Structure 1
């Protein structure tokens, strides 16, 4: 089953603004909505807004009912993995068993300098990530955990209550081919990356399959997830205008530019995503930052998502009509009611 989600982040000045996005995502029939777990995201500048990740996720999970609630992803530099495991278990209870908890080795964040938080070299952080995954899974599934590693030590460690889900999905974010993908093969239920060109993505998949073969794991056990951005319009005449409006909101040289997969109509977005569907990607997460592009959010849910679901079904083609609209659109409210 293909899932479609919104990656909202938390660069908001008011809780109600983020809640409005999550509520709308559920109304539109999205399957997933997620935060990141930065402290001071570089894109917002040295004094930009950023609400706390786990606290915000708990509040949003308590105010939604159906949608999967994701953390994408929490850096191992912020918390001891036992504390992260406890936070995740609590979030799973708050959400009624809808959490998908992501971890990563961490990247650029102004919080390290501003708050004096240590930021070890990449090799050390990757070691920490591998240990953290083992510790979190152990605490979620075993009565007691002993662990003596290079970075962490647990003695008779207990975590109660356990998560509601029998296996809380552990998402690992990143595409590093030497270390991160090896950790994905060992520990991940879901592998998430930012969008890349198709040849690069195909190579990373091959590397991951190789690591799975080394440890005897079936790579099909790992759900493949991709985060991207897009600017969509109802017809081609509006595309350039909408593109200019959205890109004007980004600072010069923004790293977000590389994450935009499509500037176009719903049909063009489907054509851009189809090669990834054929490579086995099953979670497509639309990145949205404030000010939220509500039009793209709506078009993606109402036209792109059903067309891609149809295309993934080998029994039929993408159901476009002559005007470029997808046919037989499901009522998003029906999905919420179900």
Structure 2
């Protein structure tokens, strides 16, 4: 739930306050539903705060025929099979669904989960589904325009009794959505990092801003751009929770780490763009040190990307050694 803070004369709304949360971004490139149920339930048992699906139809990872469950239906089913952990979509492509359809799906999943949904949306990226399924993929500028309008539609339908909206891409006329989400304010996550347009949309609409890991100085510059955009729209940047997704491979000692790095290299080619998502190949202690600069920069949600083949040792070491150390500040 959200709550207000009064700092001097400034009222600040923060999602979950200053608490630090840790999650798994699981994706759904699996070949059976029981695999995903086992993953989500085990992650919940390990004490993680948060877990997510993505919203690709034909993700480029895994080749043109790789497996991938549909995101919204899978998220609803998995939410029904967990009880405590926050359940998220990270993130839905604005090209896939009319935002009124997305709003209705999100409200339904919030009820299925008992009020644990966090719904993410973005301007869409590479996906083989556009070519394979014949789905239009507009230019970047148009997709950003669609994203801005979609955020307005989502929030209107979630929060208002009746919504009217006339945009370039979407139109609603005396639109109703019932039942509303269970949460008084369903958190809207926006994923993206473009400093000119994307962060302007984040500044205006996001409860949570998610981005892939970047070097601390790069992240600091993006934070500055976000603050500038927030000032331009009259919003306190402190209202926007910072979330970061990264990958890691952890081991108890250097020999084990190197063995596990070589295992990843057998799966990923040297020129794979996924290498840049790996924050650390190291021990839990090294992982803590790599994450501390982002904690100091205000990141409060740390999301470990874990897709098949699952690296359970890293998931467990992160839960049992990294998370406690960051929570206590050691």
Verify same fold: TM over 0.5.
yes
Secondary structure, in 3 states, of the residue corresponding to 2:299?
coil
Q: Which residue of 2 aligns with 1:19?
A: 37
Long gaps (5+) in structure 1: 312-317, 319-338
Q: Which residue of 2 aligns with 1:45?
A: 63
- Measure the CA separation in 2 of the matches of 1:211 and 1:105: 18
Secondary structure, in 3 states, of the residue corresponding to 1:43?
coil
Q: Which has the higher strand share?
A: 2
Residue 253 of structure 1 and its aligned partner are, at CA, apart by 2.2
CA contact (8 A) 1:43 1:254 kept: no
Long gaps (5+) in structure 2: 1-18
Q: How does 1:75-86 map to 2 (within 5 A)?
A: 75-86=93-104
Q: 1:34 aligns with which of 52, 70, 80?
A: 52
CA contact (8 A) 1:97 1:164 kept: yes
Q: 1:269 aligns with which of 287, 291, 295?
A: 287
Aligned length: 312
1:257 corresponds to 2:249? no
Secondary structure, in 3 states, of the residue corresponding to 1:282?
strand
Secondary structure, in 3 states, of the residue corresponding to 2:57?
coil
TM, length-normalised to structure 2 = 0.94
Q: Which residue of 2 aligns with 1:126?
A: 144
- Measure the CA separation in 2 of the matches of 1:80 and 1:233: 44
- Measure the CA separation in 2 of the matches of 1:47 and 1:100: 29
Q: Which residue of 2 aligns with 1:106?
A: 124
Q: Which residue of 1 aligns with 2:174?
A: 156
Q: Which residue of 1 aligns with 2:164?
A: 146
Secondary structure, in 3 states, of the residue corresponding to 2:81?
coil
Q: Which residue of 2 aligns with 1:322?
A: none
Residue 50 of structure 1 and its aligned partner are, at CA, apart by 0.3
Q: Which runs of 4+ in 1 moved over 6 A?
A: none
Say what the alpha-carbon RMSD is for the aligned residues: 0.7
- Measure the CA separation in 2 of the matches of 1:124 and 1:239: 44
Q: Which residue of 2 aligns with 1:201?
A: 219
Residue 43 of structure 1 and its aligned partner are, at CA, apart by 1.0
- Measure the CA separation in 2 of the matches of 1:246 and 1:55: 30
Q: How does 1:47-66 map to 2 (within 5 A)?
A: 47-66=65-84
- Measure the CA separation in 1 of the matches of 2:101 and 2:269: 35
Q: Which residue of 2 aligns with 1:219?
A: 237
- Measure the CA separation in 1 of the matches of 2:325 and 2:99: 40
- Measure the CA separation in 2 of the matches of 1:168 and 1:7: 19
Residue 251 of structure 1 and its aligned partner are, at CA, apart by 3.9
Residue 252 of structure 1 and its aligned partner are, at CA, apart by 4.5
- Measure the CA separation in 2 of the matches of 1:296 and 1:230: 7
1:228 corresponds to 2:249? no
